[in-house]
Amino acid sequence: MERLTPERIAELRLIAEAATKGPYEVVGLDGYGGPYALRMPHRSGRTWYGVEGIKRREDAEYFVAMNRNTVLALLDEIERLQHEVMHLRDFLAESEALASHLRQRYEALRAAVEDVAERIEMDFERAYQRWDNTAEMYDQGFAHALGRAEQMVRAVLEQDKQEVADDGDV
Domain that holds residue 25: 6-85
CA distance 102 to 95: 10
Domain count, the chain: 2
Rounded to an integer, the average pLDDT of 1-17 is: 90
Say if residue 81 is in the same domain as residue 104.
no
Which residues are CB-contacts of 36 (< 8 A; sequence separation ≥ 6)?
26, 27, 28, 29, 54, 55, 56, 57, 59, 60
Last residue of a domain, one of 50, 85, 120: 85
pLDDT given for residue 70 in this prediction: 93
Please say if the pLDDT value at position 135 is more than 60. Answer: no
pTM (global) more than 0.85: no
Give yes or no for a contact between 61 and 38, defined as CB atoms under 8 angstroms apart.
Answer: no
Whether residue 104 lies inside any domain: the answer is: yes
Asked whether the beta carbons of 155 and 149 are under 8 A apart, the reply is: no
Whether residue 95 lies inside any domain: the answer is no
Residues 105, 77: one domain?
Answer: no
Pick left, alpha or beta for residue 95 (phi over 0 → left; psi -120 to 50 → alpha; otherwise beta): alpha
- 35: cis peptide before it, omega within 30°? yes
